[in-house]
Amino acid sequence: MSAAESPPKSVAGAIVFPVAGLLVLCLAFYFWRLDGYTLFDRTETETAEVARQMFVTGDWVTPVFNGIRYFDKPVLLYWLMAMGFGVLGVGEWAVRLPSALFATVLVLATYAFALRLYSPRVALLAGTILAANPLFLALGRTGVTDMGLTSFVAVALFGWYWSYSGKHPWGYRLGFAAVAGAVLIKGPIGLLLPGLIVLGFLLWTGQWRRLGEIPWVSAVAIFAVLTLPWYILVTQANGVQFLQTFFFHHNVNRFLNVVDNQPGPWYYYLLVTPAGFFPWIMLLPATLPRLVHFDWWRRSFWAARSPREQLPLFLALWFAVVLVFVSAASTKLPHYILPGLPALALLCALVWEERTGAPKFLVRFGLGGVALGMLLLAGAFAFALNFIEDPSLPELRSSIEATGLPWLLAAIALIAAAAVAIAAFRPRPDWAWAACLLAYSLIFPALIGGLMPVLEPQVHRPLLAMADRLRTEARPGDLTAALGVYAPSLNFYSGINRIPVYQKSPEVRYQMAQDRRMLLVTTEGRLCEHWMILDDFPIIFTSGIYRLYDIPPRSKLRYSKPGVCEGN
Closest CA to 140 of 179, 92, 104, 91: 104
Position 8 scores a pLDDT of 44
Torsion sign across C-alpha atoms 374, 376, 378, 384? negative
- Tens-place pLDDT, residues 136-157: 999 999 999 999 999 999 999 9
Q: State phi, psi for 229 to the nearest 5 degrees.
A: -55, -50
Check: CB of residue 350 under 8 Å from CB of residue 356.
Answer: yes
Predicted pLDDT of residue 12: 57
Within 13 A of 458's CA, how many CA atoms are on the CB side?
16
**pLDDT for res 361:** 74
Determine the residue type at 316. Answer: A
Rounded distance between C-alpha atoms, residue 432 and residue 451, angstroms: 27
Handedness of CA 426, 427, 432, 434 (dihedral sign): negative
Q: According to the model, what pLDDT value does residue 296 have?
A: 62
The reported pLDDT for the residue numbered 5 is 38
Q: Could you tell me what percentage of the chain is helix, strand and coil, using 3-state DSSP and rounding each to the nearest 5?
A: 65, 5, 25
Q: Which residues of the chain are under the pLDDT cut of 50?
A: 1-9, 355-356, 567-568
CA distance 485 to 543: 13
Nearest-angstrom CA–CA distance, 492 and 51:
10
User: Cα 156–338–50 angle (5° rounding)?
Assistant: 90
b/e code 525-546 from CB counts within 10 Å (16+ = b): ebbbebebebeebeeebebbbb
Give the containing element (helix H, strand E) for 196.
helix 189-205
pLDDT of residue 9: 46
d(CA 324, CA 4): 52
Task: Compute CA distances 480 → 70, 136, 550, whole Å.
Answer: 20, 37, 10
Q: Are 131 and 29 in contact (CB under 8 A)?
A: yes
* Sign of the torsion angle spanned by Cα atoms 52, 141, 242, 489: positive
Cα separations (Å) of 538 from 62, 106, 232, 430? 39, 53, 50, 65
User: Helix, strand or coil for residue 547?
Assistant: strand
d(Cα 11, Cα 220) in Å, to the nearest integer? 37
List 532's β-bridge partners, or say none: 559
- What local confidence, expressed as pLDDT, does residue 309 receive? 85
Count of CA atoms in the C-beta half-sphere (13 A) of 433: 21
Reported pTM: 0.92
| Count of beta carbons in the 10 Å neighbourhood of residue 87 | 9
pLDDT of residue 568: 45
Please give the Cα distance from 97 to 84 (Å, whole number): 8
Task: Map out the domains of the chain as residue ranges.
Answer: 9-358, 389-459, 467-559
Question: How high is the pLDDT of residue 4?
Answer: 38
Quote the CA–CA distance of 201 and 368 in Å, as a whole number: 32
User: Which residues, in sequence order, are CB contacts of 220 under 8 Å at separation 6+?
Assistant: 176
pLDDT at 145: 97
d(CA 372, CA 375): 5
